[in-house]
Structure 1
Amino acid sequence: MILLFLALPALAEVERREEGNLVIEGIPEIPEEIVDQMYRYRSVRTAIIEDWAADGEGMLISTRFGETYQLHWVAQPAGMRRQLTFFQEPVRGASIQPDPEKETFIYSMDEGGGEFYQIHEYDLESGKHRLLTDGKSRNGGATWSNKGDRFAYYSTARNGQDWDLYVMDPDSPEDPRRVLEEGGSWVVSDWSPDDKKLLVVKYVSANESHPHVLDLESGELTEINPTEEKIAYGGGVWAKDGKGIYFTSDQGAEFQHLRYWDLEKKEFETLTGDIPWDIESIELSDDGKTLAFTANEDGIGVLYLLNTKTGERKKVPDLPLGQVYGLNFHPDNQRLAIVLNTPQTPGDIYVLNISDNSLTRWTYSEVGGLPTDEFVIPELIHYPTFDELDGKPREIPAFLFKPNKAAEKYPVVVYIHGGPESQFIPYFSSNFQYYLRELGIAVVAPNVRGSAGYGKSYLKLDNGYQREDSVKDIGALLDWIEKQPDLDSEKVAVMGGSYGGYMVLASLFHYPDRIKAGIDSVGISNFVTFLENTQDYRRDLRRVEYGD
């Protein structure tokens, strides 16, 4: 609402009204015509692939009709979405049972936003669903075995803090088997092809994790590539011949590279050392012949296909500027489902034919009847900040959205992402497009130090006592805005949520004369009370970032 003050005159008298439990003071009631106008932007939807049907005849997707994301079935390209779940809470993390004889899938859902996620099962034939986990602890990361008779997952059921690993037979949910009790935060990445072992990872921080192989029969836990070096690992997919594992890591490098770990030789091969960016999502076809992966190239998603036998790698051409995610191979191994999300179009599901790079669109998400070709595509900029790198001013990457409407100077909203180990990436934001098209406000989204995507040294630049350095990057952005002839440095607002909310509060504190408004959404205002009151399972993870 603060943004509306940039476009609406202030009221002469302080207003007070009550809407349910909400008491509103000094904020004018939004005119009905603006509410109607905003509703079109708020009605924009997106679609995410959850999984292919085990027989390949259709896919399970999530999209939002109403207030929350629910699961739908789509049988063919541009086909009707058949809604399956109807809950007040959002549904996430759905995965279809690999056995085509059993038409079920599992999914995750919490209650009241408490983040104590529970795993449920849905029967596609009867439409019935049932709770599989205890209803109290935090559970997630459910991963089916190749045979489809069990799934592995993490749970805090033992003590409310540690992420232990369990294996459950969905036909006997009352008796899950705890297979790992080591303390800390552990997740399951994959099953070995024979379903006798698990690839598991102990997560310490954004800069450190430890992959292991867990023998389900003996309980033996073997660390992959043990070393004193702090390494961040990602992905984790077992090769179909069982001889090795594909994963990403930043060992000996600034960025996450795609690697292959030979289990017998106990050594790895780097497969993308020539790509100076983070490799993010990886997905292996069922026949093991093709590995799809995405690279985060300065905030832009780029899709690659790797022939695992020959090592030949090709970039998929002609994808729009934006993000590529949700990689999911069809059971025929020749088609790859992806989600494309761009500043002009919300996320929709496409299927790539890997033989000729042709794309088939499967979903057409609603955009509120708005002309998407008029939506603004951002410009990638880099602005100098207060310190130096290699003898030159360090530059901070940011995405600048400028309205298409002509104006002498545009008011500016600075959007600061959360995390902090996250990254602003160009995606479809109905809020941004509303500010741009209807209010004539420019938006700048910086990736200040501590953001992901720019190397591990950059990621660590805001840790501990360096926390305020990231706030100085906002001060440097204000300097840059002041020098731009078409941006109004006298009308700047900052906004952000969660950790981004902390950055809003810190920026308002340090630069009160340069910022006219701020929106802090569930931000951290006190790190001491945050650590005291956050859930036990999060506390140690956050100490690495914020100190103690």
Structure 2
Amino acid sequence: MAASTRSLTVDISWICRFPALSPDNRAVAYVSDRDGTPRVWVQPLTENGHRRARVIDTGPEPVGDVLWSPDGAWLAVTVSPGGGERTQVWAVRPDGTDRRLLAGPDRAPAEGSAVFVRWTGQGSTLLVAELTASGLTEAVLIDACLGHRDTIAAGPLMWPSAVSRDHTRALLRHGPRGMREMAVADLPSGEERPLLPPTTDLGALSPDGEIAYIRSNAGRDRSALVAMPVGGAPRVVAERPDAELDRFAVSMDGGTALLVWNVAGRSELWVADLAAGTTRPLPPPPAEVVTAARLSLDGTLAVLAGESPDTPSHVLLCETGTGRYRRVAGDDPLPHGIDTELVRFPARDGLELTGWLYRAGPAPGPCVIYLHGGPESQERPTFNPLFQRLLAAGISVFAPNVRGSSGFGRAFQDADNHALRFHAIDDVADCAAYVVDAGVADPEKLACMGRSYGGYLTLAALVTHPELFRAGVDVCGMVNFATFYARTEPWIAAAAVSEYGDPVADAELLRALSPIHSFDRLTAPLLVVHGAQDTNVPVHEAEQVVLAATARGVPCRYLLFQDEGHETVRKANKIAFLDAVVGWLGRWLDC
């Protein structure tokens, strides 16, 4: 099918993400790009759902998250100046008045960053993580009303997870990727007590600070919810042999927890009565994947962001007692369904890999292997306009989870660390073999693309297995680990050592893993996409790719978005990105 007609008429649906209930359960705030740029919207909650949402003025910059204060007086908002990764925290009244900057860079060029963690439940106090230009993280309590600031902890590779309601204890996460552990700090002394060994991640505290609730895979392969009394022994609240705990939320009163399980990519929900120590499943949510979950103050309601391959991210309300779901905000599902299939197949060394297959037709034809970022992330059956555009253009999509992906246990996630990354690169070749053997792809019309770590893996596959691919698309990927470590944010560089290797001690390995040093093997025409404001993977990575490919005489197009960072969030830029990718692959795959 020609790429020039049908594919270019498919529009981008608007999305709703990061919903938060008002404390009286009468409204929900969320982030939506329905008018072109992610902003805060507030939807009144009525049974018939006919009252219109209103936008909250937080300025012209893209919004990343929103959270309602327990006293109902404020909305905490994360804003990205210039569309980059160095964010600010603002507070604004729910009617859009009295907007004020609480934390984050206030000058250009920006230095440091700030992200809100949660309201503490004491007045209008917000727990904020401030990342300094030197790479340290400071945990700060900020009174949104009075502007008072109290730094309660600081250190490298530290992240504040929670604080007790009386502000006498804080739950802190320490360590690099894949090796994080939790500790509780007594305030104001700051004296810390470790709670669980690696690997632990998300955490919450009971209102009195006596019990920490932690997502952990310590002593097990798959993440579970563990209750850790301060000074006591850990107790498993919930675990499953067939699933990972994806996320969880604890109500402000400390009585209820909502658990979101990742079951081979799809979401299932449980409710835990924390006082009784019991759990029960909820009915299946009306969405394949739940990407955000927050509870009302008393735990009787949950507000969710959910999506499916044919349904954009939308807001759902769930009664935790009955399991009744109600859609309260979001764009309509596509008028036509999206067929997707979860497939399993062995890598060359016998390790089982999985992937989501989107077929454009019954016969072998053009196909692109799409590689997710992370690598501690997972391809799941979510809403992806790019996949829809490619399918409309007659190009099948195979989105695998190669080794190193999350969602399949700790051993699988660690299977690409350091020198094991060469096996992950070979996994991409095994994915290519799978789609050809399965009759999905014409071997002469196969491409590879990915973003962030997936962009790196794309470049590595193109130079390691150049005979397999007829085109490539690199979206904000790393190409040279030496320059990545030198130019990325200090806290990102420090956290990446456990995943990729030490830039000094492992310099030889990192050079061998860097695709830039093998560009003499590059043959596939390459589209390179990047955001000029990206400080996670700085734009210098893309510039090296374009320079090296051009010097080799390889066809190369460079698409640079001046007002985007590591993610493309503005609607006009999303459309330009889709047009570029579909046009590029359509040209070189002859479709």
Give TM class, smaller chain.
Answer: 0.7 to 0.9
1:211 lines up with 2:168 in the alignment: no
Query: What is the rounded CA distance, in whole Å, between the counterparts of 1:321 and 1:55 in structure 2?
Result: 26
Give the structure 1 partner of residue 345 of structure 2.
383
Measured after TM superposition, the shift of residue 202 of structure 1 is 1.5
Would the aligned equivalents of 2:295 and 2:302 in 1 still touch at CA under 8 Å?
Answer: yes
Q: Percent identity?
A: 24
1:195 lines up with 2:167 in the alignment: yes
Measured after TM superposition, the shift of residue 540 of structure 1 is 0.9
Please tell me the residue identity of whatever aligns with 1:148: G
Query: What is the rounded CA distance, in whole Å, between the counterparts of 2:240 and 2:66 in structure 1?
Result: 35
Query: What is the rounded CA distance, in whole Å, between the counterparts of 1:117 and 1:396 in structure 2?
Result: 36
Query: What is the rounded CA distance, in whole Å, between the counterparts of 1:428 and 1:460 in structure 2?
Result: 27
Give the structure 1 partner of residue 355 of structure 2.
398
Give the structure 2 partner of residue 17 of structure 1.
none
Measured after TM superposition, the shift of residue 278 of structure 1 is 1.4
Query: What is the rounded CA distance, in whole Å, between the counterparts of 1:85 and 1:410 in structure 2?
Result: 48
Query: What is the rounded CA distance, in whole Å, between the counterparts of 1:209 and 1:261 in structure 2?
Result: 16
1:178 lines up with 2:133 in the alignment: no
Q: Between Structure 1 and Structure 2, how many residues are aligned?
A: 494
1:106 lines up with 2:80 in the alignment: no
1:237-252 to 2 correspondences below 5 Å:
237-240=204-207, 242-252=209-219
Q: Normalising by structure 2, what TM-score?
A: 0.79
Please tell me the residue identity of whatever aligns with 2:328: W
1:61-100 to 2 correspondences below 5 Å:
61-77=30-46, 78=49, 79-85=51-57, 87-100=59-72
Please tell me the residue identity of whatever aligns with 1:456: R
**Structure 2 unaligned spans of 5+:** 504-591
Query: What is the rounded CA distance, in whole Å, between the counterparts of 2:306 and 2:96 in structure 1?
Result: 33
Please tell me the residue identity of whatever aligns with 2:43: V
Higher relative contact order (CA 8 A, sep 6+): 2
Measured after TM superposition, the shift of residue 240 of structure 1 is 4.0
Query: What is the rounded CA distance, in whole Å, between the counterparts of 2:171 and 2:385 in structure 1?
Result: 39
Instruction: Give 1 or 2: higher helix fraction.
Output: 2
Measured after TM superposition, the shift of residue 7 of structure 1 is 4.0
1:116-515 to 2 correspondences below 5 Å:
116-125=86-95, 127-133=97-103, 134-135=105-106, 136-157=111-132, 159-173=133-147, 176-181=149-154, 183-205=155-177, 207-225=178-196, 227=197, 231-240=198-207, 242-264=209-231, 266-320=232-286, 322-366=288-332, 370-371=334-335, 374-387=336-349, 393-403=350-360, 406-436=361-391, 438-515=392-469
Would the aligned equivalents of 1:49 and 1:337 in 2 still touch at CA under 8 Å?
Answer: no
Closer, same or farther: CA 527–178 of 1 in aligned 2, 3 Å: same
Would the aligned equivalents of 2:7 and 2:390 in 1 still touch at CA under 8 Å?
Answer: no
Measured after TM superposition, the shift of residue 321 of structure 1 is 5.9
**Structure 1 unaligned spans of 5+:** 1-5, 9-30, 388-392
Query: What is the rounded CA distance, in whole Å, between the counterparts of 1:98 and 1:273 in structure 2?
Result: 30
Measured after TM superposition, the shift of residue 428 of structure 1 is 0.9
Query: What is the rounded CA distance, in whole Å, between the counterparts of 1:214 and 1:177 in structure 2?
Result: 15
Give the structure 2 partner of residue 25 of structure 1.
none
SS at match of 1:199: strand
Measured after TM superposition, the shift of residue 308 of structure 1 is 2.0
Measured after TM superposition, the shift of residue 113 of structure 1 is 3.3
Measured after TM superposition, the shift of residue 398 of structure 1 is 0.7
Query: What is the rounded CA distance, in whole Å, between the counterparts of 1:410 and 1:89 in structure 2?
Result: 42
Closer, same or farther: CA 489–315 of 1 in aligned 2, 3 Å: farther
Encode CA deviations 1:292-350: one digit per residue, 9 max, x unaligned: 10111111111111222333322222334621132122235322111221112111111
Encode CA deviations 1:172-211: one digit per residue, 9 max, x unaligned: 43x5222223x31222212214332211211421x21121
1:47-62 to 2 correspondences below 5 Å:
47-62=16-31
Deviates more, 1:73-82 or 1:450-459: 73-82
Closer, same or farther: CA 287–97 of 1 in aligned 2, 3 Å: closer
Please tell me the residue identity of whatever aligns with 1:64: D
Measured after TM superposition, the shift of residue 65 of structure 1 is 2.6
Give the structure 2 partner of residue 535 of structure 1.
489
SS at match of 2:348: strand
Measured after TM superposition, the shift of residue 36 of structure 1 is 5.2
Closer, same or farther: CA 382–65 of 1 in aligned 2, 3 Å: same
Measured after TM superposition, the shift of residue 416 of structure 1 is 0.2
Query: What is the rounded CA distance, in whole Å, between the counterparts of 1:293 and 1:443 in structure 2?
Result: 31
Closer, same or farther: CA 110–340 of 1 in aligned 2, 3 Å: closer
Please tell me the residue identity of whatever aligns with 1:179: I
Would the aligned equivalents of 1:423 and 1:451 in 2 still touch at CA under 8 Å?
Answer: yes
SS at match of 2:416: coil
Encode CA deviations 1:196-241: one digit per residue, 9 max, x unaligned: 2211211421x2112122222333222223x5xxx12122122345
Query: What is the rounded CA distance, in whole Å, between the counterparts of 1:7 and 1:528 in structure 2?
Result: 41
SS at match of 2:254: coil
Would the aligned equivalents of 1:138 and 1:155 in 2 still touch at CA under 8 Å?
Answer: yes
Encode CA deviations 1:126-166: one digit per residue, 9 max, x unaligned: 62312122524211133222123322222134x53111222
Query: What is the rounded CA distance, in whole Å, between the counterparts of 1:486 and 1:276 in structure 2?
Result: 29
Measured after TM superposition, the shift of residue 242 of structure 1 is 4.2
How big is the alpha-carbon RMSD for the aligned residues of Structure 1 and Structure 2?
A: 2.1
Query: What is the rounded CA distance, in whole Å, between the counterparts of 1:275 and 1:430 in structure 2?
Result: 33
Query: What is the rounded CA distance, in whole Å, between the counterparts of 1:451 and 1:215 in structure 2?
Result: 36
Measured after TM superposition, the shift of residue 366 of structure 1 is 4.5
Closer, same or farther: CA 150–482 of 1 in aligned 2, 3 Å: same
Would the aligned equivalents of 2:221 and 2:409 in 1 still touch at CA under 8 Å?
Answer: yes
Would the aligned equivalents of 1:450 and 1:463 in 2 still touch at CA under 8 Å?
Answer: yes
Please tell me the residue identity of whatever aligns with 2:428: I
Closer, same or farther: CA 402–98 of 1 in aligned 2, 3 Å: same
Please tell me the residue identity of whatever aligns with 1:115: E
Give the structure 1 partner of residue 558 of structure 2.
none
Would the aligned equivalents of 1:450 and 1:459 in 2 still touch at CA under 8 Å?
Answer: yes
Please tell me the residue identity of whatever aligns with 2:191: E
SS at match of 1:477: helix
Query: What is the rounded CA distance, in whole Å, between the counterparts of 1:214 and 1:73 in structure 2?
Result: 36
Query: What is the rounded CA distance, in whole Å, between the counterparts of 2:362 and 2:229 in structure 1?
Result: 60
Encode CA deviations 1:445-472: one digit per residue, 9 max, x unaligned: 1110111111111111111112221110
1:45 lines up with 2:14 in the alignment: yes
Please tell me the residue identity of whatever aligns with 1:121: A
Would the aligned equivalents of 1:104 and 1:124 in 2 still touch at CA under 8 Å?
Answer: yes
Deviates more, 1:310-319 or 1:416-425: 310-319
SS at match of 1:267: coil
Closer, same or farther: CA 504–88 of 1 in aligned 2, 3 Å: farther
